[in-house]
Structures are given as structure tokens and as C-alpha cells.
Amino acid sequence: MQSEIVQGFIDKINSSNIKYCHFKSNSSLSLSVAGETDLDLLFEEGSEIAVAAIMQSIGCILFNSPADRSYDDVYDYIAYDGDLRRPIHFHCHFRLDIGEKWVKSYRLPWQDLILSSSCQDPLTKISTSSPEWELILLILRQTTRIYSTDIFRSELPSISAKAKSEFFWLKQKVDSHVFDQILNSHLSAALHSSILQVIEGEYSSKSFHSVRKPILLDLSKYRKYSHLKAIQKFYLRKISHYLKRANIIEKYYPGKRTLSGSGLAIAIVGTDGSGKTTICNELVTSLLQKVSIKYIYLGHGKSGAGPLFLYTLRALSYLNRRIFKSFNFFGHLAKLLILFRRWHVLLLVKNYISQGRFVCMDRFPQFKKSGVSDGSFFLEHKRLWWSIPYKLEMKVKQLVDQINLDYVVHLHADKEVLKNRLSNKYNTNLLHRKSEAIESFMNQLNCPSVKLDSGKFNPNNLIGIITPKFFKLVGHRDN
């Protein structure tokens, strides 16, 4: 099923005078137009502003790539298709660059030739590169991605099954006369013979390693960076990438694409059993592959808190029932722990928003009704030792006021649904009080919000409803 967002792009770009083509993985074009894989698009040089206007008109947002994954003249436009329930990623290239992973140090001069020889796919109506040029680029791209250290391995790195399937698909599509004409007219003798050698070698690892040296020597005149700078850039980016994957620096340096400027603060609120945590997890799962989104749990129940935190709360609750019960000493310690965690988490939220990330908050602290919906713990006590937890709670309250919510989703469900979900934990009076507190919170909002019955929609349908609203909101803000 083709995405309506992709269809909108095709209609607008085809009616413009902008030269473009889909120039990678045309063998799986049907997956690309359905949003299952990225659309890799090559545009004529200097068309960035015109392309940006088209992208904005179809609801796409320009995201910033992380510093260790960004490339010159490559832009990431992403929209969300509510019908298909997936993000649509347009990978827009305005120069023809290839090379090592994380670097791309070669800028090839054949951009205009590829665009002028492109043709329209009869099924999707999108312009695609000719199979001859795509085959040439596939071989050169694979060769330049072989690292210097690979030649010292006892076994040569294998070629991916996807790359091999593309090769054999293109080999069947290529017009031998047109292919020879391109090789003779636009490529050097060294590139000509090397490409034919790879084709004769059936795209094997051995054939690539045998032609690597002459190809890189011939492409050296197209280098953007010196060989030394390319090596330095490669290893710095590689180290940064793995540090982020190990969650060592990811908290401070996003590993995924971020919004320009501030991020988007989203809060999912509702009574117990309304499905807040489920929707938060579904939202994060649907976007995490493409953009930087953080799930933040702001409650103190078992839905999203860490095991150590929950174990400590249970231990304090146990001690409170058996030691100094009349003084409620350990009960106050538990509340102090909850406040400290919330203070720490809210500082992270502020940091994530300043980095341009999506932040999905499961619940949001409220201080309107004491003891309900995260209401105050120590605001009534200001003297003696009580001043310490009082000051901490005031800091939490100030942090809450500093976080400007961009969108709030209020989930609710009828009594029968809540009874089935909560079973023996269903408490009519407590749910009523929490519902009143949440309604009071919603009435005082200064941001867009939506109220949805989680009992009438499954999580996938809810994601399809709310996520496009987030992208639309960011689009209006950016404009």
C-alpha cells in the first residue's frame, strides 16, 4: 500500500521543474513508497529551498542528524503516516557523495548525467535512476566502503544478501549497449575494467578486494578530505557511535535525529488502567527507529520505574508498617525518595527538550489536590527538619512550572473497561478523585490536547490518531 504522503510528494515534485530521481535500491521501490524503507532521492544542485517548500507542504519536518552521522548536503525530512502507522523518511541528497561508512569522502561528478538519464517508474510515477548508472554506483559504493584494515583479515568480509540481490536485479535490467557507452564516455579505463571485473566475478568479496586499489586510486581526484583526515573522522565517529550505543554519552549527545531548536514535550495522563504506559511504549517504539525520543516515567508505581527504585519503596513500606508506625518515619522517607527521583528525572526532561528530542512523559506531576495525582507531600510542613523535604518539593514544583508542555493526551475509559483491567485493584472512590484532579489539570492547560477513550481504540489506532498531530504541531511551529 502506497503512502498518501509519498503520493503527495510525487505529485508535487513531478509538477515542478526540479530534476530528481530515486537512485538507490530501486529493486525494492514498492517498499520505499509504502514507507517500509527510506526513500533515497538525488536532486539537482541548488534546489534545496524549492524541495524544502514541497516537503513542508506535505507535512514533513526537517530533522538534524547526530554530529557523528551527518553528511554534507544530505537532509532528513520525516513525516508520519497515520493510516500506515509508520514514519516516512525522505533521505534527500543534493550532491553525489559516496565513501566509507560515517565519512563519505568522495564527491562524484556525474550528478547531472544521472538526473538527465532518469526515467519514470510506470507503477509509482516516481523518477528513478537508470539501471546502468545505479549498477555503477552500487559497485563503487561497495568498493569505497571496504576499510583498509579489512585486507589483513584471514577471511574477507562477506557481501550482504541485500546488496547481492540488488546486483543481480540490476544486471538483468541493464542495457549492455547503454552500459558500454557510459563506461567508454564518462569513466576512466581503470574504472571501466574494474567494474567489468566485479560483474564477471559475480559481485564476490574476492572480486571487490582485487579491484579496490585501482578504483580508490582513480577516485582520489574526487576526494573531499585527505586520506588522513578521512581516517581520523572515521574512527572518531565510530568511537562516538559505540559510546552512544552503550548509553555512556547518549544522555548528553543524541544518537538519533533531533528537531531544530527545542524538542517536543508530550504528556500522557489518565486514571489507573487507562492505558498510559501502553500508549507511551507504542509511541516510542513507532518513532525510535527514525528520531530521538525519550520515554520518561513520572509516577511512582510499578508501570515504568526501575527495579531498584521499586525494591527500595517496598522495603520502606514494609519497615513503616512494623517500625515507628505511629511516626510514619519510613513513609516520609519513601515520599522523599519519590521527590528526589522526580527532581532528577525532570532535570533530564529539561535537558532532552533543549537537545531537540521528542519527550514522551508517562503522567505529569500535579499539585492541585493533596495526595491525589502526585499531589503535594510536604508543602504543608515548613519548620524544623521538614524544611529539607519542603525545599526539595518546591524545587520539583518549580521544575514542573518551567517545562512547557507542547501536547497532552488525556486517556479515559468507562467503568467496565477499568474493572476488567484493574480487577481487584479497582477502587471507585480513588479513581473518581484522580479523575477530578486530572480534569482540573486539563482545564488549566495552555497547550493543545486531546481526550480519547482507550476502551474504544486499540493502541495501534491511538498511535495513528495522535502521532500525526505531533508532527503537524512541530510543522506549524517551524513555519
Can you tell me the distance from the alpha carbon of 289 to that of 374, in angstroms, rounded to the nearest whole number? Answer: 32
Q: What is the DSSP string of 183-208?
A: HHHHS-HHHHHHHHHHHHTTT-HHHH
Residue-wise DSSP of 236-263: HHHHHHHHHHTTSSTTTS-SSBEESSS-
The burial class, CB within 10 Å (0-12 / 13-18 / 19+), for 351 is middle
Helices 329-354 and 307-322: angle between axes, nearest 10 degrees? 160
Strand pairing of 264-270 and 358-362? Answer: parallel
The one-character DSSP state at 58 is T
**Cα angle at 261 between 57 and 97, to 5 degrees?**
70
What pLDDT is attached to residue 338? 82
Query: What domains are there in the chain, each with its CATH number?
Result: 4-240 (no CATH), 263-478 (3.40.50.300)
Question: 10 Å Cβ neighbour count for 306?
Answer: 10
Residues of the chain by 3-state class (helix, strand, coil), percent to 5: 50, 15, 35
Give the largest CA-CA distance in the chain: 93
Sign of CA dihedral 391, 397, 402, 403: positive
pLDDT for 328 equals: 75
The type of residue at 343 is W
The CB density around residue 63, as the number of other CB atoms within 10 Å, is 20
pLDDT at position 97 is 96
- As given in the structure block, the three cell numbers for residue 187 are 569513466
Going by C-beta distance under 8 Å and a sequence separation of 6 or more, which residues neighbour residue 219?
106, 108, 140, 144, 191
219: cell is: 577516485
Would you say 197 and 210 are in contact if contact means Cβ atoms under 8 Å apart?
A: yes
pLDDT of 368 reads: 58
The predicted structure's pLDDT at residue 155: 56
The beta-strand segments (E) located in 56-154 are: 61-64, 74-81, 86-93, 97-98, 106-107, 119-120, 127-128
The C-alpha atoms of residue 478 and residue 87 are separated, in whole angstroms, by 19
Strand ranges for 82-178 from DSSP E: 86-93, 97-98, 106-107, 119-120, 127-128
Q: Phi/psi of residue 184, each to 5°?
A: -75, -35
Calpha distance 183→187 (Å, rounded): 5
- Tell me the torsion sign for CA atoms 380, 382, 383, 384: positive
DSSP lists the bridge partners of residue 120 as 127
Question: What's the CA gap between 39 and 223, in Å, rounded?
Answer: 26
User: Residues near 51 by Cβ (< 8 Å), separated by ≥ 6?
Assistant: 13, 18, 20, 43, 75, 92
455-282-300-392 Cα dihedral, nearest 10 degrees: -120
Helix (H) or strand (E) holding 315: helix 307-322
Q: Which residues pair with 265 in a beta bridge?
A: 359
Say which residue the cell 564477471 belongs to.
200
How confident is the prediction along the chain (479 residues), in pLDDT tens digits per residue?
Answer: 789 999 999 999 999 999 999 999 999 999 999 999 999 999 999 999 999 999 999 999 999 999 888 999 999 999 999 999 999 999 999 999 999 888 899 999 999 999 999 999 999 999 999 999 999 999 999 998 876 555 455 455 667 788 889 999 999 999 999 999 999 999 999 999 999 999 998 888 888 888 989 999 999 999 998 888 988 998 899 898 888 887 878 888 999 999 998 999 999 999 888 999 999 999 999 999 999 999 998 876 555 567 787 788 788 888 877 776 666 778 778 888 888 888 888 999 999 999 999 999 998 887 655 555 566 666 666 666 667 778 888 888 888 889 999 999 999 998 888 888 888 888 888 888 888 888 888 988 899 999 999 989 888 899 999 999 999 999 888 66
pLDDT at 290: 95
Packed helices 387-402 and 329-354: angle between N→C axes, nearest 10 degrees: 30
pLDDT at position 163 is 87
Nearest to 73 by CA among 33, 107, 39: 107
